[in-house]
Amino acid sequence: MQVYVIGLGHIGLPMACFIAISGKQVIGIDNNPQVIKAVKNGSINIYEHYNGLHISKLAKKLIDQGKLTVTKNLRTIDQHPGVFIVSVGIKSSDDFKQDISPIKEVMDTLVPQLKPGDLIIFRTTLIPGTIDEHVIPRLESLNIPVYLAYCPETMAETQAFQELNNNPIVMAGKDEESFAKAKEFFNSISDAPIHKASNIKTAELIKVVQNISRDVEIALVNEISVVAEALKVDTYEVLNLSNTHPRVKLLQPGPGVGGYCLPNALVYLKHTLLKGKNTDIPLSLMEVARKSNLDRPKKIVALIEQALKDVNKTLEKSCIAILGLAMKDNCADCRYSPAIDIAKMLTEKGAKVKGFDPVVGKKFPFQVDTLQECIVNSDCILITAVQPGI
Ligand SMILES: NC(=O)c1ccc[n+]([C@@H]2O[C@H](COP(=O)([O-])OP(=O)(O)OC[C@H]3O[C@@H](n4cnc5c(N)ncnc54)[C@H](O)[C@@H]3O)[C@@H](O)[C@H]2O)c1
């Protein structure tokens, strides 16, 4: 069985490798030639390992062994039904404007290649209703029997291989046959339990709800940390002992919320509600949590300013070392990273900023190459993400 993985990013590349390791022939497609070049020459900057091997080396090894092929153009290679896994997301701008065109482009290239019996699985985060609106009509216009399923991806970067194998999968099919085909496929490559959702829109919503749930939980714990500090009690003692309650699961406070998924989740939900003309549904709790998380870097900057003031220093005359530039621990992804927002704000306020992250490739002008270089002569050290080597 030929498997095609469309989109070789943080999710698609580990997925392609994982499926190839399971013994299936995989063709990975990415319309960005730089991505294809980086996969081929082993210089992908994703922090993922399989049995100690970095994903760059793993992908190259699988390519050399003939188990994985990567290419810019999707072209089906045989007449037997294949499996097409789409791991391309909706494009999101700095101000969270959503652009659905990548999904439409995938359909534009995929639809002419399809043949009876092909199975398409969207493993991506979508605005609920996207598949019904943009995918199913295109497939129906083809007038040939193809199977379609949707399952959100829940793996955390750095845990890809373990979580692809074990994380429960919520999945829905266009129809019963589609669900059965997709289930059979996943059962053939992983041990992950599969939970059936009654339709695709429900499964799309489940992923958005999971992301919003994390967003709200993070806002809550950050607020608790401010309360604990004001009351001069140890935040971590409060959290750890609160969590001894069997039904309380507070997270850890941090510098804010980054990455592609969580900051976009509420925007996705609002799009769906708007589309269904549900304009009067109250989302106040989610809105407050989102705003609180967006404002968190500003609060961290204020904390730094105050801490410097306490020792008779000013931001303008200080050097701040930021350790960890990625959006969270053990990860190379800097999309919407709070550390980057903090660095920008500090620079705008006149501080000198140096940032170090051993996992993130050189991307920012304030980035330095070593931990030593970062912290030497600094007036304040801010740890925003814990990485190997920090
Ligand atoms: N990164 C995560 O931890 C994570 C976790 C869970 C879910 N997701 C979801 O998975 C999806 C993918 O996320 P990601 O982080 O891998 O994104 P990404 O940006 O890292 O990767 C997407 C890849 O798709 C490629 N692409 C775009 N349009 C294409 C097209 N028409 N044809 C072929 N390739 C195309 C891009 O060049 C890019 O390499 C998103 O919906 C995201 O919300 C991500």
Rounded distance, CA 23 to CA 29, Å?
Answer: 18
277 torsion bin: left (phi>0), alpha (psi -120 to 50), beta (else): left
Average of pLDDT values for 256-284?
A: 93
Kindly report, residue by residue over 331-341, the tens digit of the pLDDT: 999 999 999 99
Neighbours of 184 (CB within 10 A): 10
> Is 354's pLDDT higher than 80?
yes
- Structure-derived torsion over alpha carbons of residues 102, 105, 111, 114, reported in degrees to the nearest 10: -60
Confidence label for 162 from pLDDT (cuts 50, 70 and 90): very high
pLDDT, residue 20, reads 98
Whole-structure pTM over 0.85, yes or no? yes
Confidence label for 355 from pLDDT (cuts 50, 70 and 90): very high
Average of pLDDT values for 293-308?
A: 97
User: Cα separations (Å) of 30 from 82, 86, 360?
Assistant: 18, 10, 22
Residue 331, ligand 1, Cβ within 6 A: no
pLDDT, residue 325, reads 97
User: Cα separations (Å) of 1 from 17, 69, 252, 341?
Assistant: 15, 14, 44, 45
> Is 390's pLDDT higher than 80?
no
Confidence label for 67 from pLDDT (cuts 50, 70 and 90): very high
> Is 388's pLDDT higher than 90?
no
Residue 295, ligand 1, Cβ within 6 A: no
Kindly report, residue by residue over 101-148, the tens digit of the pLDDT: 999 999 999 999 999 999 999 999 999 999 999 999 999 999 899 999
pLDDT, residue 259, reads 92
pLDDT, residue 220, reads 98
Rounded distance, CA 370 to CA 357, Å?
Answer: 8
CA-nearest residue for atom 7, ligand 1, is 153
> Is 276's pLDDT higher than 90?
no
CB burial of 206-220 (b: ≥16 within 10 Å; e: otherwise) equals bbbebbbebbbebbb
pLDDT, residue 5, reads 98
Handedness of CA 126, 106, 6, 32 (dihedral sign): negative
CA-nearest residue for atom 18, ligand 1, is 9
- The DSSP line for 273-289 is HHHTT-TT---HHHHHH
**Nearest CA among 81, 76, 70 for reference residue 17:** 70
- The C-alpha angle with vertex 330 and arms to 329 and 333, in degrees rounded to 5, equals 85
pLDDT, residue 192, reads 95
pLDDT, residue 249, reads 97
Average of pLDDT values for 232-241?
A: 98
pLDDT, residue 58, reads 97
Residue 203, ligand 1, Cβ within 6 A: no
Quote the ligand 1 centre to 332 CA distance (angstroms): 15
Residue 258, ligand 1, Cβ within 6 A: no
The secondary element (H helix, E strand) that includes residue 3 is strand 2-6
Q: Residue 134 carries which DSSP code?
A: I
Quote the ligand 1 centre to 9 CA distance (angstroms): 5
- Structure-derived torsion over alpha carbons of residues 333, 334, 337, 339, reported in degrees to the nearest 10: 110
> Is 77's pLDDT higher than 80?
no
pLDDT, residue 21, reads 97
Domains, the chain, ordered by start: 2-198 (3.40.50.720), 206-292 (1.10.1040.10), 296-383 (3.40.50.720)
Kindly report, residue by residue over 15-47, the tens digit of the pLDDT: 999 999 999 999 999 999 999 999 999 999 899
Rounded distance, CA 187 to CA 327, Å?
Answer: 32
Average of pLDDT values for 367-377?
A: 96
